[in-house]
Structure 1
C-alpha cells in the first residue's frame, strides 16, 4: 500500500479498488499502443486469497476492459470468477512469477513496440538518462526464445531469469515488469518502454553516448527506482484515464 491507498472497511471494498486499478492499467496500455492482437496481460493477487490472481479476459481489447470483466483464477489455472476464457500464455508466465516471488503483487507484460524491438538486441538498458536509472542493476535478460509461452516449465524459466529484479527483458519477445501493487507494475512497464525508446533513438544517432557514472546511476536509482516513486508517477495517469473513460470502473 502507499499514501494514495484509501483505508478499506472490507475485503470486498479492497478487491474492487484493486480491480479498478487493474482495469485502468489496461486502458492506459491501450492508449499508449501496447495492444498486439490477443497478446498482453497484467495480473494482480487477490487481497484475500493470495494464491488467486486477477487477469484480463482473453480476446477482450484492452480499451474495452472494465473492472467487472476481470477474471479470477487460481494457481492451477482454474477459473473461479468471470465469464470469459483466459490467455494460456498469461497463466503460464504469471502463475510462475507469482509462485516464485511472494513479494510480488502484480506483474505486467505486453507486446509494446519499443520493448519488442529492444528485446532483439539481447542486452540491458544502460544508464544513459535520469529516467533509465530507475532500472539500474534492477533488471535482467531472459536470453532465449523458443516460441509462444504455453508450457509451465517455460514460465518458470522466465521467473528464474527475473530473479529478484523489478523487470526482465524477454529476448525477441518484449518486456515484463513486477511490483508490490498494480500501480507499480504498470508504471514500471510504461517507464521501461520509454527507456527502450530513448536508448534506441540515442543509438540510431550514430554518436557515442555518455553514460551516467556508476555511483551517480546508483544514487539516481535510489531517487527514481523505488516503489513509492512508481505509485506517485502512476497516480496522474490513473486520474487522467478515469476522467476520460469512467466506464472502466464498472
Structure 2
C-alpha cells in the first residue's frame, strides 16, 4: 500500500480509528497465538456510520504486520472504497460479507484455519461438551457443511441461515468462525472455541472421554451469558497491554 494513500488518525473519525486499532490488534494477536495461516483467512470489522463499509487486511500482508492505517476499507462486495494501492481479495470477503449483511450485531467477523479447529471440524460429532471451555459455548455454537472454497455467493444464504443468532460456528471440513458486537467480543469467542477444540484433540489422545452430565452442561451454559461483556471490560485491555509489550505499533 502506498504510504500516502493510507488513512491516518487525523483523517478518520475517532470511532473509525478506534475500530482500526482494535482490528489491527486482533490480527497481531491471532499471529501471536499461532492461529494465522500465512496470508490466508481474514478478520473484518464494520466501520461506524450509516454506510455499509468494512475494514479488512491488505492481501499479502502477514497478520503480525498489520497496522491501523494499513487496513483497507471495502463495501459489501469487497470492492475498495477510496484510493489505495493495496490488494484486496474479494473472494476472501465472501463469508464475511454474508455475515455482516445478515447480522446487524456482527460488528466483527473472525475466520481461522488452525490445526485443532480444522481437526474438530472434520469430526462427525463436532465439538463435544467434554470440558468447561466447550460447555461455555453450549447454545451459541452453529455448524455449516462444506461446499468448497468460499467463492460462490450462492452459498451465503445457507451459511447465514446455519449461523442464525449464534456467535461461534464450525465450518465443517474447513475451520472456525466467530462474530461479536465488538472486535474484543469476536476475539474472545474465538479464543474459547479454539481452546475448546485444542482440549478436545488432546483429550481424545489420552483415553476414554468422560462426559459431564446434561444438567451440569445446562448450568455452565447459563453461567456463560456475561462472557462477551467481560471481553470488552477485562480481557481486551489485558490483551492490548500484552501486545504492546511484545509487538507494539499496531495502532500506527
When normalised by structure 2's length, the TM-score is 0.88
Q: Distance in 2 between matches of 1:76 and 1:247?
A: 30
Query: CA-to-partner distance for each residue in 1:185-242, whole Å, 9 max, x for gaps?
Result: 111112211100101111222213132x333323323333532133232331222112
- The residue aligned with 2:163 is 162
CA contact (8 A) 1:41 1:109 kept: yes
Q: Matched residue of 1:248: which SS?
A: coil
Shift of 1:84: 1.0
Provide the rounded CA distance (Å) in 1 between the counterparts of 2:91 and 2:200. 28
The reply on whether 1:67 has 2:97 as its aligned counterpart is: no
The residue aligned with 1:51 is 52
| 1:1-250 paired onto structure 2 within 5 Å | 12-81=13-82, 82-143=84-145, 145-211=146-212, 213-225=213-225, 226-231=227-232, 232-250=234-252
3-state secondary structure, aligned to 2:239 = helix
- Cα distance in 1 for partners of 2:197, 2:209 equals 17
Contact persistence 1:126–1:136 (CA under 8 A)? no
On the 8 A contact 2:129/2:211 being kept in 1, the answer is no
> CA separation in 1, counterparts of 2:26 and 2:173?
24
Secondary structure of the residue aligned to 2:81 is strand
User: Which SS does the other structure have where 2:61 is aligned?
Assistant: coil
The C-alpha deviation readout for 1:42-85, integer Å capped at 9, x for no partner, is 11111114511111111110010001110111112220144312
CA distance in 1, matches of 2:221, 2:231: 12
Q: Distance in 1 between matches of 2:202 and 2:96?
A: 31
Q: For the structure 1 residues 173 and 100, does the alpha-carbon distance in structure 2 shift closer, same or farther, using more than 3 Å as the test?
A: same
* Root-mean-square deviation (Å): 1.9
CA–CA separation in structure 2 for the residues paired with 1:235 and 1:129? 27
**Any stretches of 5+ residues in structure 2 without a counterpart?**
1-10
Cα pair 1:19 1:67 within 8 Å, conserved: yes
Q: Tell me if the contact between 1:124 and 1:140 (Cα under 8 Å) persists in the aligned partners.
A: no
Residues 143, 171 of structure 2: 8 Å contact kept: yes
Aligned residues: 239
Indicate how the Cα distance of structure 1 residues 209 and 85 shifts in structure 2: closer, same or farther if over 3 A, else same: same
TM-score of the two chains, using structure 1 as the length reference: 0.89
Partners of 1:140 and 1:169 within 8 A in 2: yes
